[in-house]
Amino acid sequence: MKLFRYNKTAILAMVSIVLISCASDDQPGESQLDFTQPVKTQLDTWITSNYLTPYNINVQYKWNQNTVDNSRYLFPPTTDKVLPALEIVQQIWLKSYSTVGGADFVKKIAPREIVLVGGVNLNSVGTRTLGIAEGGQRVTLFETDYIDKSNRANVSEFIHTIQHEYIHILNQNKPFDEKAWAVITPVGYTADWYNFDIPESNEIGFITSYARSNINEDFAETASMILIYSKAEYATFLNGIQSPFAYQALKTKEALVVKYFKEAFNMDFYALRDEAEKNTSAVINN
Amino acid sequence: MKLKNIFKYLIAGILILYLNACSNATEADQLFEQTPTERLNARKTELKDALLSSEFGWKAVYFTDNTVLGGYTHLFKFAPDGTVQMASDFDGDTAVYKSEYEIQLGSTVSVTFTTKNRIHLLSDSDSYPIAALESEGYKGDFQFLYYGQENGDIVFRTNRTVKELRFVKATAADWADLPKNLIMEQNVIGGASRPLFRLLETNDGSTKHQFDFTYTTPTRYAEANSIEAGYTVSYDMGIGFTPTGIVVSPAVEVGGQKLTNFVYNDVDGSFTATGTGGVTAVIKYTDKPLLLTDDYKMLLPGQPLAWFGFYADDYTVDAPTNSPLFYAELAKINAALPAGQEISSIQIYTNHSLGTFIYYTFVGRAALFHFVDVVEDAPGKKVILKHKSWSNATTAAFVTSLDKYLTDPNGIYLKRESFRLFYSEPVYTFTSSSSPFRMTTWKLN
């Protein structure tokens, strides 16, 4: 039993060495990382109280290379242009959805970050990318330097971008009925959609030419275009369609969009459209 | 060995390991005195202090890509509150604007201009100087990685292309004189009264070489190709403007010396860079083309039909080879024509079944023929288009001012250019031999 006693002593010694060995080391001090917050401008405060606090959405307008595509030649917005852009987004998009979908709707399903880019994102084929939605989390909006609140077409295009990207965000959260959608106009989809005029695309059942790039874009374009049209404008648009097949296709797509909003989010799409129309007029008239 | 002993030694061994494990002797060498975080923080502070240290801020002549574009001078004055005042000679607006900047951590510590100002004009995908740069703008960056300081300059590298960019201490005069850069730009472009041809002449102290020099205004870029047979050196350079001359990148290397600063002489419109030991490089005007070609021969009688066309609403109108005098004469014709009418093309047909003629077409007006004879000037390697008759005297009155350059009694040069204007048709220029008049055409047959 001698051996056993030695073992006990040895283990005791080891344990005590482990316990006291690091006792004299330096304790961690203050962090070396710089946690000082940058000086908040009036604009930053506005963003906090109008986006961050009510909707939990961060707005990034200052350049950060990690949130943009570095292979593109883009630039950050002019500071003066940030507030008008955000006001439009707030009024037409956030308010419309909050009114119709309930105050918490956008809080739950919204991009967590909106990135504003001042310049045009021009593609090598000559098309412009107006917005990007990524992973249901971030929306990037381009061309904020060119916003003119007094010009309805200009505001519409900008709002079209955010409505379009938000539909993507919604789809990225709850998918739409892709099977039903894919059979409506199966042959019209093409990679070189930009070579077609919009009226030409309308006549084969697409609301815009961009809708022809794939069914996800088609869904987003259909929903967002209906949202930026007023009820009367949309009716005029439909009445102008010559081809009965195209008319039927557009109506079927519209019905699918309405169904998607009802089933996925229990939301009345037409009420949303009317709310958006009201808010758009409010922005332009102010 | 007995099992008991094995245990004993084992325990002894483990004990030794334990006792040694907590020894204070760290054998690994410390490469740096401080931790990475401390070093980054120190670097940030160093850059921030440097940016704020200059009384009149900093000046940078930014050559975004010296294989296609020239230099754009920017002046910066940084403030501790994160704002920066900036001016540039990118366009006619040399006023000072305020925006924000940040010291950010990229692949290393960097300064980033975070909201829009003048420097962002270089990075606008929708504003590009030539079609080849579509969606790339002027290829500019506005995030610069900090690489230290040298002789009072702050040395950066651009974020995207990792090219060196130096911030040099600016002076009060730099701010006041910035608009003078644009006057210098006009001197580089060359006024309507200056001759059309330019050459770069290098002198390494003993031998001189001449290079055909052409400057492209939208890109601020110049090409200089040797005209000597068997000597195939060429200098391509981006050009930046200063109040007194130009600065070029890459440098013109003569006799082992790198020349970058050229001084303007208003008397003859030349730019001279001087090195040591008699080394110089001069960009100067000359009255006739450095390199005469035999292209004119296709215009001579007995040759097959040749058809050249300049079109006012097509790529020919944007050709860099059109001279200011040519544009001025076009504008003169349009100003004289009645409202709603304008010139649409100038075509030259030689050895056509109808004869040889200059053919003017208009919007809202019948076309006009100017029949001519072609006379050869073999030693001068040019032709004279000699007047014969007009098809309509009234219309002719509108174009005679321009026409007199094409029918220059001293002759015109014809030259096949090496570039294309979008389409595959070869580009030819007609140049008056006694005035700075040059028209760019496609050869259409």
Chain B residues with CB under 8 Å of A5 CB are none
B37/A33 touch (CB, cutoff 8 Å), yes or no? yes
Check whether residue B247 and residue B325 sit in a common domain: no
| pLDDT above 90 (res A219) | yes
Task: Specify the number of domains making up chain B.
Answer: 3
Residues B13-36 have a mean pLDDT of 76
CATH class of A42-285: alpha beta
Q: B15 lies in a domain?
A: no
A17/B19 touch (CB, cutoff 8 Å), yes or no? yes
Check whether residue B238 and residue B300 sit in a common domain: no
Report DSSP state, residue B315: G
Which pair of tokens denotes residue B16?
């030794």
| pLDDT above 70 (res B26) | no
| pLDDT above 80 (res A34) | no
Check whether residue B321 and residue B277 sit in a common domain: no
Which pair of tokens denotes residue A96?
């419309």
| pLDDT above 90 (res B155) | yes
Please tell me the least confidently modeled range out of A216-225, B7-16, B263-272. B7-16
Residue of B nearest to A78 (CA): B116
A3/B120 touch (CB, cutoff 8 Å), yes or no? no
| pLDDT above 90 (res B229) | no
- Report the pLDDT value the prediction gives residue A103, as an integer from 0 to 100: 82
Out of B267, B286, B305, a domain closes at B286
- Report the pLDDT value the prediction gives residue B321, as an integer from 0 to 100: 86
Check whether residue B199 and residue B323 sit in a common domain: no
Q: B41 lies in a domain?
A: yes
A42 touching chain B per CB within 8 A: no
Out of B260, B286, B312, a domain closes at B286
Q: Are B353 and B422 in contact (CB under 8 A)?
A: no
**How far apart (Å, rounded) are the C-alpha atoms in residues B225 and B233?**
7
Residues B383-411 have a mean pLDDT of 93
Residues B96-118 have a mean pLDDT of 93
Please tell me the least confidently modeled range out of B135-149, B185-199, B396-410, B427-441. B185-199
Q: Pick the residue with more confidence: A38 or B270?
A: B270
Look up tokens 């245990």; give the residue.
Answer: B7
- pLDDT, one tens digit per residue, over A47-94 is 999 999 988 899 999 999 999 988 899 999 999 999 999 999 998 888
Residues A23-29 have a mean pLDDT of 65
Check whether residue B238 and residue B341 sit in a common domain: no
**How far apart (Å, rounded) are the C-alpha atoms in residues B427 and A206?**
43
* Strand runs labelled E in A17-135: 58-60, 113-116, 121-122, 128-129, 131-134
B115/A72 touch (CB, cutoff 8 Å), yes or no? no
Q: B397 lies in a domain?
A: yes
Within 49-78 of A, beta carbons closer than 8 Å to B belong to 61-65, 70, 72-78
Check whether residue B189 and residue B302 sit in a common domain: no
How many Cβ pairs within 8 Å bridge chains A and B? 104
**How far apart (Å, rounded) are the C-alpha atoms in residues B143 and B103?**
9
Which of A10, A63, A78 has the CB atom closest to B11's CB atom? A10
Out of B113, B144, B170, a domain closes at B170
User: What average pLDDT is seen over chain B?
Assistant: 91
Residues B381-396 have a mean pLDDT of 93
Q: B8 lies in a domain?
A: no
Please give the model's pTM, rounded to 2 decimal places: 0.78
Residues A166-177 have a mean pLDDT of 90
- pLDDT, one tens digit per residue, over A258-270 is 999 999 999 999 9
Check whether residue B404 and residue B351 sit in a common domain: yes
Q: Any idea what the CATH number is for the domain that residue B196 is in?
A: 2.40.128
Chain A residues with CB under 8 Å of B120 CB are 75-76, 118-119
| pLDDT above 60 (res A160) | yes
Within 131-170 of A, beta carbons closer than 8 Å to B belong to 145
Indicate the helix (H) or strand (E) that contains B80.
Answer: none
- pLDDT tier for residue A26 given thresholds of 50, 70 and 90: low
For residue A120, the one-letter residue type is: V
- Report the pLDDT value the prediction gives residue A25, as an integer from 0 to 100: 60
Quote the longest CA-to-CA distance of chain A: 104
| pLDDT above 70 (res B223) | yes
Which pair of tokens denotes residue B166?
């130096």
- pLDDT, one tens digit per residue, over B347-381 is 999 999 999 999 999 999 999 999 999 999 999 89
* Three-state DSSP string of B352-368: ECCEEEEEEEEECCCCE
B97 touching chain A per CB within 8 A: no
Residues B405-417 have a mean pLDDT of 93
B125/A79 touch (CB, cutoff 8 Å), yes or no? no
Question: Distance (Å) from the C-alpha of residue A14 to the closest C-alpha of chain B?
Answer: 7
- Report the pLDDT value the prediction gives residue A24, as an integer from 0 to 100: 59
| pLDDT above 80 (res B247) | yes
Could you tell me which of A107, A112, A116 has the C-alpha nearest to residue A77? A116
Counts of helices then strands in chain B (DSSP H, E): 5, 24
To the nearest 10 degrees (0 to 180), the angle between helices A79-88 and A152-173 is 70
Check whether residue B246 and residue B347 sit in a common domain: no
- Report the pLDDT value the prediction gives residue A23, as an integer from 0 to 100: 59
Q: What percentage of chain A reaches a pLDDT higher than 70?
A: 95
Q: B176 lies in a domain?
A: no
- Report the pLDDT value the prediction gives residue B434, as an integer from 0 to 100: 87
Q: B13 lies in a domain?
A: no
| pLDDT above 90 (res B110) | yes
User: What average pLDDT is seen over chain A?
Assistant: 88
Q: B29 lies in a domain?
A: no
| pLDDT above 60 (res A1) | no
- Report the pLDDT value the prediction gives residue B22, as an integer from 0 to 100: 65
Residues A137-160 have a mean pLDDT of 88
Could you tell me which of B219, B222, B225, B229 has the C-alpha nearest to residue B202? B225
Residues B116-127 have a mean pLDDT of 94
Residues A222-226 have a mean pLDDT of 94
3-state secondary structure of B127: coil
Residues B19-41 have a mean pLDDT of 76
Check whether residue B304 and residue B439 sit in a common domain: yes
Check whether residue B203 and residue B90 sit in a common domain: no
- pLDDT tier for residue A22 given thresholds of 50, 70 and 90: low
**How far apart (Å, rounded) are the C-alpha atoms in residues A25 and A17?**
14
A72/B125 touch (CB, cutoff 8 Å), yes or no? yes
Residues B115-137 have a mean pLDDT of 92
Which of A21, A38, A119 has the CB atom closest to B126's CB atom? A119
Q: Pick the residue with more confidence: A165 or B18?
A: A165
- pLDDT tier for residue B384 given thresholds of 50, 70 and 90: very high
Residues B95-107 have a mean pLDDT of 92
- pLDDT tier for residue B28 given thresholds of 50, 70 and 90: low
Alpha helices in chain A (DSSP H): 2-21, 42-47, 53-55, 79-88, 95-101, 105-108, 152-173, 178-182, 198-202, 215-228, 231-239, 244-265, 269-285
Domain assignment of residue B87, given as a range: 36-170
A17 touching chain B per CB within 8 A: yes
- pLDDT tier for residue A4 given thresholds of 50, 70 and 90: low
**How far apart (Å, rounded) are the C-alpha atoms in residues B62 and A39?**
30
Q: Pick the residue with more confidence: B235 or A5?
A: B235
| pLDDT above 60 (res A138) | yes
Residues A180-201 have a mean pLDDT of 91
- pLDDT, one tens digit per residue, over B287-309 is 788 778 899 999 999 999 999 99
